[in-house]
Amino acid sequence: MNTTAIILAAGNSERLPGGVPKQFRPLAGMPVLAHTLRKFEQCDAVNDVIVVVPREYIPFTYESIVDKYTIKKVRSVVSGGDSRFQSLMRGLAVVLQDTDIVITHDAVRPLVSPDLISETVRTCITDGAAVAALKAGDAVKRVENGYVLATLDRERMYLVQTPQAFKSELLRDVYKKSTETGSMFPDEASAVEAAGHKIRIVEGDPMNLKIVLPSDLDLVRFCMSSTQGQENG
């Protein structure tokens, strides 16, 4: 079973001030992206990795991350598009034809565990599509123009994370048809869902944090230092 991971690292960090995109910010001595790639390097369920980055960061990614930190599974680094959808399409374009499973992941979730990656792949093998997600712990409201319209059933609400895994043929077909119709989706699961396919939920990890705001970067740093402290203790 051949599995390719596409690491989406082409964002421009509009919500995180500074001249460097968040996926390339330093975190515990190395770029955020390097931490993420190391997790996939350690996961036996993944055979190779494609990284999608801004065009101007391709040389940096090869030299200062892939080579410097000996990330052997990275087969290709490609330039992203103006949206997640376009970036995923460019990553899919270089996935080998004999790939069985494609697993996607946000580069700015550096605390993802190899176990969660493996479990998502295993679930995809049996169900065709799988996403990591956390059950909503707080009350969920539907809001419009700043006013609450309804309270949703918390027991049926999940917060979707990455990784997300799909049979390669399924994902290629969905994105090909979406391109032909001009449809755009916020993530891969949304595109597959809109095409009428069922997606199995894999229990996510509260530590699998996404760095969006400066406070998120501080929280990830704290989590990493706490984990290292426990291991050293």
Residue 207 lies in a domain: yes
3 state DSSP class of 22: helix
Q: What's the DSSP call for residue 210?
A: -
Q: What are phi and psi for residue 188, nearest 5 degrees?
A: -65, -40
Residue 118 lies in a domain: yes
Residue 49 belongs to domain spanning: 3-132+161-228
Residue 145 lies in a domain: no
Q: What are phi and psi for residue 80, nearest 5 degrees?
A: -85, 180
Q: Which CATH number is 109's domain given?
A: 3.90.550.10
Q: What is the pLDDT of residue 141?
A: 95
Q: What is the pLDDT of residue 117?
A: 98
Q: Extract the tokens encoding 179.
A: 């391109």
Determine if the peptide bond prior to 214 is cis (ω within 30°): no
Cα Rg of the chain (Å, integer): 18
Residue 147 lies in a domain: no
Please give the model's pTM, rounded to 2 decimal places.
0.94
Residue 99 lies in a domain: yes
Q: Which helix (H) or strand (E) holds 60?
A: helix 58-60
Q: Extract the tokens encoding 117.
A: 């990656």
The total number of structural domains in the chain stands at 1
CA distance 161 to 130: 11
Written as tens digits, the pLDDT of the chain (233 aa) is 999 999 999 988 666 666 789 999 999 999 999 999 999 999 999 999 999 999 999 999 999 999 999 999 999 999 999 999 999 999 999 999 999 999 999 999 999 999 999 999 999 999 999 999 999 999 999 999 999 999 999 999 999 999 999 999 999 999 999 989 988 899 999 999 999 999 999 999 999 999 998 899 999 999 988 776 455 44
Largest CA distance in the chain: 56
Residue 233 lies in a domain: no
CA distance 28 to 35: 9
Q: Extract the tokens encoding 191.
A: 């595109």
Residue 181 lies in a domain: yes
Residue 156 lies in a domain: no
